[in-house]
Structure 1
Amino acid sequence: MTDRARERAAGPLLHRPVTVHAWQDIVFAHWRSDPGALARLVPRGTRPDVVDGSAWVGLSAYVFDETRVPPFPSAGRLGRMTEVTLEVLTVDDQGRHGVTYRTVDTANVPAIVAAHALLGVPYTFAHAGSRRRGDTVAHRSVRHSGRVRHPFRWAHSLHRDRAPDAPRPRGAASVRVHAGDVVDTPLAAELTTRAGIHARYLAQTLFWQRQHAPLTVRSARLDQLEGDLPAAVGLSGLFDREPDSLLVVDGTTVRYSWGGVIR
């Protein structure tokens, strides 16, 4: 990890943490993009972050566990969920390198309500699940109401052909990768280690600071990636090509705190 990314990950929080979470089985998929094409998708006071000559769109998917709201103890199973996100890497006028979420899809209703009411983060209800077998990690999110009673049925049907007359889900995403060796490159560090979240909240742009230990990042091989979730959030065609960067982090603990109003 570069010194800059290491400082970004472990930098002191400006305020007391508002939430603390364990992230497990994290998949990072990133695609190069044109900054001009993404400018309309980011909040005022921010712009697409150019890293290694490109702006970047990302999919991040992980198991969100052991949630705490200091000074209270862990919420245990009540705080466990899968999150599947689509995001644009952003930077603000103060030079803080963050992400702007286009969506965070999850089945945890309390998290959705709190994120919308307090954080300005666009959480969306979906039937989301994760599986890990050895170094193979899979995450899936489906907004379609027909999957309500069987949110994990996807795990048994990843290779089935869809019937011609079958309804297409409105906002689905699934990713399965096989994790490989540890990588320690400047690009991997920049794509995975972000200083926080840039979020629209009413007429303002907010910054929520993120802190975690330096990440151990692994390379990954793509086994499967599909879904129409990108089209639902203004990123049509994203899954039509393989990611330009595909990485896995086995786990970390993430702390969020208030970072300030940008504009």
Structure 2
Amino acid sequence: MTDAVRDRAAVPLLHRPVAVHAWEDVVFAHWRRDPASLARLVPRGTRPDVVDGSAWVGLTAYVFRQTAIPPFPPSRRLGSMTEVTIEVPTIDTRGRRGIVYRTVDTGHVPAIVAANTLLGVPYTFAHVRASRRGDTLDHRSVRHPARAAHPVRWVRDVLRTRQPRTPRPRYDAVVRVTAGDVVDSPLAVDLTTRAGIHARHLAQTLFWQRQHAPLTIRSARLERLEGDLPAAVGVPGLFDHEPDSLLVVDGTTVRYAWGEVVR
């Protein structure tokens, strides 16, 4: 089973890549959930993927060191940013195993505009940063109180009224882990290796294919976890207990391409 899952993200892209990203210092934290409790959080044509007897909610945090938009060469300036996500592993009616992002928090405004407008991926403005000392990785995200709900609408309202909108709750997330030994369990591979992204866009469910080499996955020990970001995206209380799976990937290169309309 592990070999088949590991090869999932190595399937040749059906179309030319639209973006290529170098990821570093990736943290995967996952919690078990009942599938029925997550059904309302995923788009039509998909359902929560059951892995090892459970559906899952994940927090993933990582650093982009460079981005390429083919046919142009890679650029560190274009793609250097940190992202913190809350996501649900999914499976669609054709059996493709992907993820649904409930949010992708980042401070990279061009990425926010492009992802929301073109891809249907809910990027949200936040002050996000990452650091690493040896094997200890630290990721933090704090949403700006006024801009968090919708960055484009916030700018529009400021231009119209010359005053910012009423501040909203300030959602945040902090995760610090220390990476350990390499692991190769079926569960670890299945939670970290997904074939693409399922996204809602213009009343449709889209599938964006994702490709990367087999990952070298490491176990991790939790040092700190706090914040209320999950409450902003429909999974309150997620950080009330430690993750059921906690993993680290030091780095990989990820290629994205158009898949198709699911529904």
TM-score normalised by structure 1 residue count? 0.90
Aligned residue number for residue 23 of structure 1: 23
Report if the CA contact (8 A) 1:170-1:232 is conserved. Answer: no
Aligned residue number for residue 205 of structure 2: 205
Q: CA deviation at 1:4?
A: 1.4
Rounded to whole Å, the distance in 2 between the matches of 1:255 and 1:30 is 23
Aligned residue number for residue 260 of structure 1: 260
Q: CA deviation at 1:252?
A: 0.1
Aligned residue number for residue 225 of structure 1: 225
Percent identity between matched residues is: 77
Unaligned runs of 5+ in 2: 147-166
Task: State the SS of the aligned residue for 1:170.
Answer: coil
Q: Which moved more, 1:95-104 or 1:4-13?
A: 4-13
Amino acid of the structure 1 residue aligned with 2:174? S
Aligned residue number for residue 120 of structure 1: 120
Task: State the SS of the aligned residue for 2:17.
Answer: coil
Runs of 4+ in 1 over 2 A off after TM superposition: none
TM-score normalised by structure 2 residue count? 0.90
Amino acid of the structure 1 residue aligned with 2:256? Y
Unaligned runs of 5+ in 1: 147-166
Q: CA deviation at 1:74?
A: 1.4
Rounded to whole Å, the distance in 1 between the matches of 2:57 and 2:232 is 15
Give the aligned length: 243
Q: CA deviation at 1:145?
A: 4.7
Q: CA deviation at 1:3?
A: 1.3
Aligned residue number for residue 106 of structure 1: 106
Report if the CA contact (8 A) 2:145-2:170 is conserved. Answer: no
Report if the CA contact (8 A) 1:44-1:205 is conserved. Answer: yes
Rounded to whole Å, the distance in 1 between the matches of 2:254 and 2:79 is 14
Alignment of 1:15-164 (within 5 A): 15-145=15-145
Rounded to whole Å, the distance in 1 between the matches of 2:121 and 2:144 is 21
1:185 is the counterpart of 2:221: no
Q: CA deviation at 1:249?
A: 0.2
Q: CA deviation at 1:77?
A: 2.0
Report if the CA contact (8 A) 2:88-2:100 is conserved. Answer: yes
Offset from partner CA, 1:145-166 (integer Å, 9 cap, x none): 59xxxxxxxxxxxxxxxxxxxx
Q: CA deviation at 1:189?
A: 0.3
Q: CA deviation at 1:90?
A: 0.3
